[in-house]
Amino acid sequence: MANIFSRMGSDASLFRNEAALAPDYLPDAILHREAQVKEIAYAVSPATRGRKPQNAIVIGPPGTGKTCCCRHVLSQLAEYSGRSLPIYINCWEYTTRHAVLTKVAEALGQAMPRRGIATDEILARIAEIVKNTDRILVVVLDEVDRLLASSESKVLYDLTRAQEVFSARVGVIGVTNDAQALAKLDNRIRSSLASVPVNFEAYTPAQLKDILRERAKLALADGVLTEEVIPLCAAFGARAGGDARIAIECLRRAAQLAESEGLSQVTAQHVRAAYPQPAQLRAEGALASLGDGERALVQMLKEKGELSSGQIEAIFEKSGMATDRSVRNYIARLESLGLIETEEIEGGRGKSRLVRLRLSG
């Protein structure tokens, strides 16, 4: 019997480069965001002249190009100036002051033990290295509101005031979906971080069509899309609030479905069949981005069904995997992503929370 993969055929792919439809793909040109790219680049441009970059706050709805534009500017900066050190940090992954500063120190080439070193010591090491090497840091803190949710915003003070306190030149770009994020900051941090606000509006249907056509040229073979595919994917992205990620993911899934059926074209029928609900898509993306502790908690809930917060803390404590504070951070993140739900209950030591999965994925 022939091998199952040989029966699928080696030349039947509709894709030229499927990676061009991936969420983390960074295109050479970012359509309809030229003004925002220039604003971010202008804020960090002093680093190319040996001066402290300006701090900035990048604000806009999900899927409007904020992360893509910031990563693009960092890439261009690294290519242009060897003196500056661009550092990208996703605050869903690095949720504490200690974790963020450890990431910065590692980017500077400092080997850092995971435990046993005080956060202030890490900060002092960063300041020393920056001064001794004459490096200028540009730190992008994506999903910066996560630090506010877990009461870890002191790291923003550490970084935005580094020149005053340690004579270290550091520029910070905070990225958030929350238009009210600045209001939650300490006045000193707010005034510094908001020195350059960069606003991102939702994409229009016409803009989404342009983005999809450009990605399709890179990702798909010529002639595989029927006429209605791009407008329909754009319409789904517009319905989700002008979210380009959802529009692009819709196109990717539709092409995968057509290919799995052995067809040579993607049709509107494939788009409708493949269209993910926005909440589902974001949850799947969230699952892919979870850290080890959060994954362990999800697996725990899959096996147990539901647990009280006290039971979860006890399990993590017994295994030595995390502190009670880390567990509370895990629960807060998973709940904000819609992966779990919690319910207040009366526990042995007062109020507790019952935690259960919302998704089986």
CA–CA dist 142, 158 (Å, integer): 17
Query: Which comes out higher in pLDDT, residue 355 or 304?
Result: 355
**Does pLDDT of 38 surpass 80?**
yes
Q: Which two tokens stand for residue 131?
A: 């001064």
**Please, are residues 324 and 317 in contact by the beta-carbon 8 Å criterion?**
yes
Percent of the chain at pLDDT above 70? Answer: 88
Query: Which comes out higher in pLDDT, residue 83 or 4?
Result: 83
The full set of domain ranges for the chain reads 4-15+203-283, 34-199, 290-357
- What would be the CATH architecture of the domain defined by 4-15+203-283? Orthogonal Bundle (1.10)
Average of pLDDT values for 145-164? Answer: 84
**Please, are residues 107 and 78 in contact by the beta-carbon 8 Å criterion?**
no
Average of pLDDT values for 297-320? Answer: 84
Q: What is the pLDDT of residue 361?
A: 39
* Token pair 């779990």: residue: 340
User: What CATH number is given for 34-199 in this structure?
Assistant: 3.40.50.300
Q: What is the pLDDT of residue 153?
A: 84
Average of pLDDT values for 261-286? Answer: 78
Mean per-residue pLDDT of the chain: 86
Query: Which comes out higher in pLDDT, residue 25 or 288?
Result: 25
Query: Which comes out higher in pLDDT, residue 219 or 240?
Result: 219
Q: Where are the alpha helices (DSSP H) in 83-227?
A: 97-107, 119-133, 145-149, 154-160, 162-166, 187-193, 205-219
CA–CA dist 262, 12 (Å, integer): 7
The sheet with strand 306-308 has its strands ordered as 306-308, 350-357, 340-347
**Does pLDDT of 217 surpass 60?**
yes
Q: What is the pLDDT of residue 253?
A: 93
Q: What is the pLDDT of residue 277?
A: 63
CA–CA dist 286, 62 (Å, integer): 13
Q: Which two tokens stand for residue 251?
A: 């196109």
Q: Which of 76-80, 165-169, 224-228 is the least confident region?
A: 165-169
Q: At 98, phi and psi to the nearest 5?
A: -60, -45
The correct CATH number of 290-357 out of 1.10.760.10, 1.10.10.10, 3.40.640.10, 2.170.130.10 is 1.10.10.10
What is the pTM (predicted TM-score) of this model?
A: 0.77
